[in-house]
Amino acid sequence: MRTLRTLTAAAAAACLSIGTAGAATFHLSTGNGVDNGNGTLSFSADGISLAVSAGLFDDVPGAVIVPGADGAVVTQTGAGLGVTDNNDTSSDVDGIGDNDALIFAFDRLVKIEGIWFSNFDLDDDVDFFFENADGDLERHSSYLLSLALDLDGFLDVSVFLGLFPTLDPNLLIGTLFGFGADDDGILGLLADNFKIKAIKVKDLSPPGEIPVPAALPLFLSGLAGFGVAARRRKAQGAP
């Protein structure tokens, strides 16, 4: 019954692929996404939608991002996304003049798996913001980019969590995230700055929300019938 086993395995694989959450990579540099005309951009990848906006924050523990403060808007270049505002014309996410932050809002539950950074220096760090009970993006912690990134500027979350085990992995699951830069680099000499070029997430939306192809139940019932018929032929000595 090798054929039956093969078909059954194929059906199981089909079910698994339908019920398994997939990963999506959003490319954020020039030529990608839609400019909404109000300082925000929209992107889509593998059925997931992402809206990116900009804000500012104070350099204090527990600070929250204030969206659109001082005219903060998202800027897009070939190197990725950054922020400009009324006090700073730099296109990076930086701490020059004000402390910039990018806000990532997904249309479903996701887990961050990786982020590609660009335009950063050895002493630059990134501030992570996560949604608090009030629905605000609250500053959680800062991390030195040069320790966490590979040569391509990629922050692999699985490696990142190994380097910084105090970060709760559950914080990387949600629909709303923020990434900012403050006004004193690690050496206390330069403001932090970077751009975000791409982000990779895993879709964690409930399996019930993923449509099942209409033909699959019929295919599975056909396999069951095939197995019954095969057992009958075997019992009757049929080849």
Q: At which residue do the structure tokens 């019930």 appear?
A: 208
What percent of the chain has pLDDT above 70?
A: 75
Beta-carbon count within 10 A of 230 CB: 14
Mean pLDDT of 191-198: 95
List b or e across 22-42, with b for residues whose CB sees 16 or more CB atoms inside 10 angstroms. Answer: eebebebbeebbeeeeebbbe
pLDDT of 230? 46
pLDDT of 218? 41
Does the pLDDT of residue 21 top 90, yes or no? no
Task: Calculate the alpha carbon distances from 12 to 8, 72, 210, 218, 226 in Å.
Answer: 6, 50, 16, 14, 16
Mean pLDDT of 100-128: 96
Beta-carbon count within 10 A of 122 CB: 12
pLDDT of 97? 84
What percent of the chain has pLDDT above 90?
A: 62
